[in-house]
Amino acid sequence: MLRCFFFWLIKIIGKENIMANSSINKTRMLCETAIMIALATALSYVTIFSLPHGGSITLFSQVPIIIIGYRYGVKWGCTTGIIHGILQMLLQGLGNFAYVKGIGAYLVLILADYVLAFMSLGLGGAMFKKVIKNQSVALGLGAFVGSFLRFICHFVSGVTIWADYADGWKGVWAYSASYNGSYMAVEAAISIVAVVALSFVLDFNKENLKKTKKA
């Protein structure tokens, strides 16, 4: 089934020019993307802290998706994020469906908490590559924006389908912002530090990953 997902990814992206002045071997890209999705999924199980109603601080699980977005562009990054989000839902999130009722709530749960949330990471990773030449800055900003967009997705989910858990808070908006912000702020910080650190070691602009040249 995962194999079908990855071939579907190739068809969607088509003939997009991924890297300037480079003809990328799509089989190589597919393998690299599959590895990064597997790595992101594995790291999502390494939790530093988990909240009672979903959401957790993980060990760099956002980083592989952000890097794929930076290396291969918006379409590839977003599609990779979507696939990772679907896997997260299937492997870790099916239990959440027991707490919501109605087709509308199911759609919000699927889209906001999984599909769009993790798609945002790939989008963020790709966002600044063409406008900021400094790899560290582009990746750091990408990690920040991707994490913030993911937070917005979870925030929307919190004020809609998870509003019943806002008892004791001064409004559902404050509840969702505080609850989702409590783990996403740390996730963002961890991701920013990780991608910036990696950018000093590896040149992600190269087809074959190489060590960053020292000044």
For tokens 């990746």, the residue is 139
Cβ atoms of 64 and 44 within 8 Å: the answer is no
For residue 48 the two structure tokens come to 């530093």
pLDDT at 213: 55
pLDDT of residue 14: 43
What is the pLDDT, as a whole number, of residue 157?
93
What pLDDT is stored for residue 207 in this prediction?
Answer: 78
Reported residue count of the chain is 215
Architecture of domain 2-6+28-211: Orthogonal Bundle (1.10)
Res 185: pLDDT: 97
Predicted pLDDT of residue 54:
82
pLDDT of the residue at 212 = 63
Distance CA 26, CA 92 (A): 30
Give SS3 for 62: coil
C-alpha 42, offset from chain centre: 14
Where on the phi/psi map is residue 60: left (φ > 0), alpha (ψ -120 to 50), or beta? left
Question: What is the pLDDT at residue 15?
Answer: 42
The pLDDT value recorded for residue 2 is 45
10-residue block means of pLDDT along the chain (215 residues)?
Answer: 48 45 70 96 95 89 98 95 97 89 92 97 96 96 98 94 75 90 97 97 83 57
C-alpha to C-alpha distance for 212 and 203, rounded to whole angstroms: 5
